[in-house]
Amino acid sequence: MEKQTYNNAVVRWIDDRLPIFSFMDHEYNQFPMPKNLNYWWNFGALATVVLVAMIVTGIVLAMHYTPHTSMAFDSVEHIMRDVNYGWLIRYIHANGASMFFIVVYIHIFRGLYYGSYKAPRELLWMIGVVILLLMMATAFMGYVLPWGQMSFWGAKVITNLFSAIPLVGESVVEWLWGGYTVDNATLNRFYSLHYLLPFVIVGVVVLHIAALHVTGSNNPDGIDMKGPQDSVPFNPYFTAKDSVGLGVFLLIWAAFVFYAPDYLGHPENYIEANPLVTPPHIVPEWYFLPFYAILRAITFDVWFIEAKLMGVLLMFASILVLFILPWLDTSKVRSCRYRPIYKWFFWVLLIDCVVLGWVGANKPEGMFPLIGLIGTGYYFFHFLILLPILGKIETPLPLPTSISESVTRRSGAPAGATAATGGNA
Amino acid sequence: MADSLAEGETRRDFLFLAAGAVGGVGAACFAWPLIDQMNPAADVLALSSVEIDISAVPEGQGITVKWRGQPVFVRHRTPKEIEEARAVSASTLRDPQTDEQRVTKPEWLIVSGSCTHLGCVPVGNKVGSDRGEFGGWFCPCHGSHYDTSGRIRKGPAPKNLLVPPYSFVSDTKIKIG
Amino acid sequence: MKKALILGLVACSLMAAPVQAAEDAEAPKSVDWSFDGIFGHYDRASLQRGMQVYKEVCAACHGMRLLAYRNLMDLGYSEAQVKAFASQYEVQNEDPNDEGEMFNRPALPSDRFVSPFPNEQAARASNGGALPPDLSLIVKARAGGADYIYSVLSGYAEAPKDLKKPDTLHYNPYFPGQLIAMPPPLTEGAVEYADGTKATVDQLSYDVTNFLTWASSPKLEAQKSTGFKVVLFLLVFTGLLIAVKKKVWSAVH
């Protein structure tokens, strides 16, 4: 890292001893970014903003919340009714969880479409999958805290997954609960971990960004930067571009917070937890629905594996498969722009995930179990069979020679030029 | 391009400044709820009044009652104590107040039980405990002496013991708050 | 890519929509509430009438334990009126008296609404085994919200001839399962409104639903008016940011 010389004596004094100013200048101000990034590259920055907002509002909520089964529900209502701006802070936090998942899911599908998981960014991608897992754990435990009916029964059902583990399952579940059911001990530990995990996420995000700054960003053409003509400095170019996305994103978030704050939640959760009465229809939050569908997909024993265990295994496998994705995809070309066949399968996968979510939202009756089974099958088919084979047999389109050439071509070319329409299928 | 380079630069600077300023205002507005949430909540502010039966408090003694989570001293003063309190010229005091300003019925003195120095609870409400050099209360934390009207006479405290809002519901009942 | 992703997002949000009231119940009537929409606000006169309905009819069986008497000042009552209202009820004092015995005192504005039954068992015993739910959050806790509550209250009907109905249950097409333990609570003239409004079943249902919505979302007015300012601000801010972005990138494109 080249040292800067600063005019301000205090800045210079600090920078000589701890080069934070040089570091920021190098990694943020001047950091070279591919100049062809589109708005789908906003979502990493947006996720960072949501993470910070969630931690800030979360710390504030913790000042008023009481993690005890007899007081948790009322303390949340105390926040909603009595604490100054409590309703606002809680609605920001509750809807923020949904916003976080929307942003991160788009971020992930952007990576899938443009091949951002491919060499040399495999580790960057894998760290991202770790962040997703941590987010899911944090969100799950956070949803338990208001101690409504869905909190309680969601917690009970999901922790019971672990009872599917052969031999030690029951003991593991008792250990998770700290008792014979989800109770005060469970609520307390979930509260503790819900406060801790976001800071772990911050740590892993730092690693994610550090890894990103080793390889630099991927881009819509999926080709490497060849020189300064291909790049622009992060600031002001991407400060400005990310800010536009942030403005739009905050508008969407605000629309939910102020005009549909409970739309993404479930009415049952405004009923205090009752261990003796199960709600007629238990569903997780929308961001877990596809996984919930996979969990319920298997209704028959497979060889010696019970249906219950199989469902649990598949649900975890659906995320774990992402870890080995960089090696499952055998194509030499990163971006779907230049993969005429895979491009279509990307959309099929996306639709498959939405369908799985739809199945997850409905009772397992009628045609839903079958759709769930097919959807689950396709999900694994896509990653484990399609991707390895497709990379071998697909003939990619010719890649542009450089990013700057691609930019000139795309902005200058008449509408309808095939390569230029990219993913606008 | 009609704009000269300089004009373009000015427009750009203005835009940057405007966006920065608007963003700053937005951030400040967002910060307010996060700060204000630490102020007392509506239910805390509403912890309104307590009613106390004082018929059983003998002359010369006091009781301590809880109001808004803090102690309030209710003292049944003897004629001698009243006389002592009234004999002092207010202008000589650190926090000049006459006894008449501090009581509605002379035999009943009602003051907050928090020392105005740093908030300890002074002793002296019970008969036999140290009432300090002026026969009122004595704060053991840092040695403030209060007289029989709860006024600061000696020690570090800057103000007299606060008189909470109260009223007599009847001869034997007071309502604090 | 954009179009398809937007479609996907729309699909996701539809999927996440709260599951509508149980399939064997009729869809709730659609009511034009004053609190709907961007500038939604409560109709204070209706809230006061609704409170009267709650007090004189619902409160016999249903508590509202999350509300405090002081909250009624939001409805436009004065402090003195609220004090007088609260003092009709008795609550147990927080601390025992000097003899160590707990004692009751008239409720203060700072106290929470007194529930009609001390516990669930007592409530069930008095209601033929059914539990009248606490109403503090009822509008938020039911799919369909205010429309649903209004429909159930005003929607009791003669049971179809072929329906096998236990005597303890009542036919209500809007209630999941269509059989509800609560007898029709509102009848014409059940309450004599102070402001002279005619107390039809629809009017009573409308007023008490307004009141219950306020009880569930007492901050709704602040929420909507703040929201309008925030959205307006963000529109201006985003507009500025778009201009900045265009200016910054003009040299590159």
Q: What is the pLDDT of residues A78-121, one digit of tens each?
A: 999 999 999 999 999 999 999 999 999 999 999 999 999 999 99
Residue A189 included in any domain: yes
Residue where a domain terminates, one of A276, A292, A317: A276
Determine, for residues A354 and C12 on separate chains, whether the beta-carbon distance falls below 8 Å. yes
Question: pLDDT digits over C117-154, tens only?
Answer: 999 999 999 998 899 999 999 999 999 999 999 999 99
Residue C1 included in any domain: no
What does the alpha-carbon distance between residue A105 and residue A98 come to, in Å, rounded to a whole number?
10
Determine, for residues C237 and B49 on separate chains, whether the beta-carbon distance falls below 8 Å. no
Q: Are residues A330 and A272 in the same domain?
A: no
Residue A387 vs residues A108, A174, A318, A347: alpha-carbon distances, Å: 17, 40, 15, 14
Residue B25 has pLDDT above 80, yes or no: yes
Residue A411 included in any domain: no
Mutate to test the interface with A, among B30, B34, B37 (most CBs of A within 10 A): B37
| Class of the CATH-defined domain B45-176 | mainly beta
Q: What is the pLDDT of residue A69?
A: 96
Residue where a domain terminates, one of A251, A276, A301: A276
Q: Are residues A303 and A362 in the same domain?
A: yes
Q: Are residues A111 and A242 in the same domain?
A: yes
The 3 state secondary structure assigned to chain A is CCCCCCCCHHHHHHHHHCCHHHHHHHHHHCCEEECCCCHHHHHHHHHHHHHHHHHHHHHHHHCCCCCCCCCHHHHHHHHHHCCCCHHHHHHHHHHHHHHHHHHHHHHHHHHHHHCCCCCCCHHHHHHHHHHHHHHHHHHHHHHHCCCEHHHHHHHHHHHHHHHHCCCCHHHHHHHHHCCCCCCHHHHHHHHHHHHHHHHHHHHHHHHHHHHHHHHCCCCCCCCCCCCHHHEEEHHHHHHHHHHHHHHHHHHHHHHHHHHCCCCCCCHHHHCECCCCCCCCCCCCCHHHHHHHHHHHHCCCCECCECHHHHHHHHHHHHHHHHHCHHHHCCCCCCCHHHCCCHHHHHHHHHHHHHHHHHHHHCCCCCCHHHHHHHHHHHHHHHHHHHHHHHHHHCCCCCCCCCHHHHHHHHHHCCCCCCHHHCCCC
* Tokens read off for A232: 């622009």
Residue C239 included in any domain: yes
Residue C73 included in any domain: no
Residue A421 has pLDDT above 60, yes or no: no
- Mean pLDDT (whole number) for B105-118: 92
DSSP state at residue C19 = P
Q: Are residues A268 and A314 in the same domain?
A: no
In this structure, what CATH number is given to the domain that contains residue C203?
1.10.760.10
Residue count (chain A):
425
Question: pLDDT digits over B135-164, tens only?
Answer: 899 999 999 999 999 999 999 999 999 999
Residue with the larger pLDDT of the pair C205 and A418 = C205
Q: What is the pLDDT of residue A193?
A: 98
Q: Are residues C210 and C141 in the same domain?
A: yes
Residue with token string 């309190």: B85
Q: Where are the domains of chain B?
A: 1-39, 45-176
Question: pLDDT digits over A391-415, tens only?
Answer: 999 999 999 999 988 888 777 654 4
Q: Are C218 and C77 in contact (CB under 8 A)?
A: no
- Mean pLDDT (whole number) for A123-142: 97
Q: Are residues A116 and A234 in the same domain?
A: yes
In this structure, what CATH number is given to the domain that contains residue A134?
1.20.810.10
What does the alpha-carbon distance between residue B63 and residue A264 come to, in Å, rounded to a whole number?
55
Q: Are residues C56 and C152 in the same domain?
A: yes
Residue C20 has pLDDT above 90, yes or no: no
Q: Are A371 and A355 in contact (CB under 8 A)?
A: yes
Q: What is the pLDDT of residue A414?
A: 47
Q: Are residues C207 and C238 in the same domain?
A: no
- Mean pLDDT (whole number) for C212-225: 97
Helix crossing, A43-62 with B5-36: angle to 10°?
30
Q: Are residues C233 and C145 in the same domain?
A: no
Residue C11 included in any domain: no
Confidence band of B2 (pLDDT split at 50, 70, 90):
very low
Q: Are residues C171 and C123 in the same domain?
A: yes
Q: How many CB pairs under 8 A join A and B?
A: 36
Structural domain of C231: 225-253
What does the alpha-carbon distance between residue A32 and residue A228 come to, in Å, rounded to a whole number?
8
- Mean pLDDT (whole number) for B82-97: 89
- Mean pLDDT (whole number) for C50-70: 95
Letter for the amino acid at A20? Answer: I
Apex CA C213: angle with CA C210 and CA C214, to 5°?
90
Lowest mean pLDDT among A36-40, A165-169, A214-218: A165-169
Confidence band of A287 (pLDDT split at 50, 70, 90):
very high
Structural domain of A152: 28-276
Q: Are residues C117 and C241 in the same domain?
A: no
Residue A371 included in any domain: yes
Q: What is the pLDDT of residue C244?
A: 94
* Tokens read off for A364: 């397992």
Residue where a domain terminates, one of A230, A250, A276: A276
- Mean pLDDT (whole number) for A29-43: 95
Whole-number percent of chain B with pLDDT over 70: 94
Residue A143 has pLDDT above 60, yes or no: yes
Q: What is the pLDDT of residue A418?
A: 42
Q: Are residues C61 and C123 in the same domain?
A: yes
Q: Are residues A217 and A319 in the same domain?
A: no
Q: Are residues A270 and A394 in the same domain?
A: no
Q: Which residues of B touch C219 (CB under 8 A)?
A: none
Q: What is the pLDDT of residue B7?
A: 60
Confidence band of C14 (pLDDT split at 50, 70, 90):
very low
> Does the beta carbon of C247 lie under 8 angstroms from any beta carbon of chain B?
yes
Residue with the larger pLDDT of the pair A4 and A382 = A382
Question: pLDDT digits over A149-179, tens only?
Answer: 999 999 999 999 899 888 999 999 999 999 9
Residue C172 included in any domain: yes
Q: Which residues of A touch C24 (CB under 8 A)?
A: none
Question: pLDDT digits over A110-124, tens only?
Answer: 999 999 999 999 999
Whole-number percent of chain A with pLDDT over 70: 96
Strands B62-67 and B70-76: antiparallel
* Tokens read off for A262: 């409970």
Average predicted confidence (pLDDT) for chain A: 93
Strand partners, C28: none
Confidence band of C191 (pLDDT split at 50, 70, 90):
very high
* Tokens read off for B115: 């020392």
Q: What is the pLDDT of residue A416?
A: 42
DSSP-derived 3-state class of residue C130: coil
Average predicted confidence (pLDDT) for chain C: 89
Q: Are residues C200 and C156 in the same domain?
A: yes
Determine, for residues C15 and A264 on separate chains, whether the beta-carbon distance falls below 8 Å. no
The alpha-helical segments, DSSP class H, found in A63-163 are: 72-81, 86-114, 122-144, 149-160
Residue C207 vs residues A214, C45, C54, C242: alpha-carbon distances, Å: 64, 9, 9, 46
> Does the beta carbon of C22 lie under 8 angstroms from any beta carbon of chain B?
no
> Does the beta carbon of A87 lie under 8 angstroms from any beta carbon of chain C?
yes
Residue A1 included in any domain: no
Q: Are residues C185 and C144 in the same domain?
A: yes
Q: Are A72 and A147 in contact (CB under 8 A)?
A: yes
Residue C174 has pLDDT above 80, yes or no: yes
- Mean pLDDT (whole number) for A203-230: 95
Residue C3 has pLDDT above 80, yes or no: no
Q: Are residues C137 and C207 in the same domain?
A: yes
Number of domains in chain C: 2
Residue A3 has pLDDT above 70, yes or no: no
Q: Which chains share 3+ C-beta pairs under 8 angstroms with B? A: A, C
Q: What is the pLDDT of residue A300?
A: 83
Residue C196 vs residues A10, A260, C248: alpha-carbon distances, Å: 75, 35, 65
Residue A193 included in any domain: yes
Q: Are residues A143 and A216 in the same domain?
A: yes
Q: Are residues C147 and C128 in the same domain?
A: yes
Q: Which chains share 3+ C-beta pairs under 8 angstroms with C? A: A, B
Q: Are residues C169 and C211 in the same domain?
A: yes
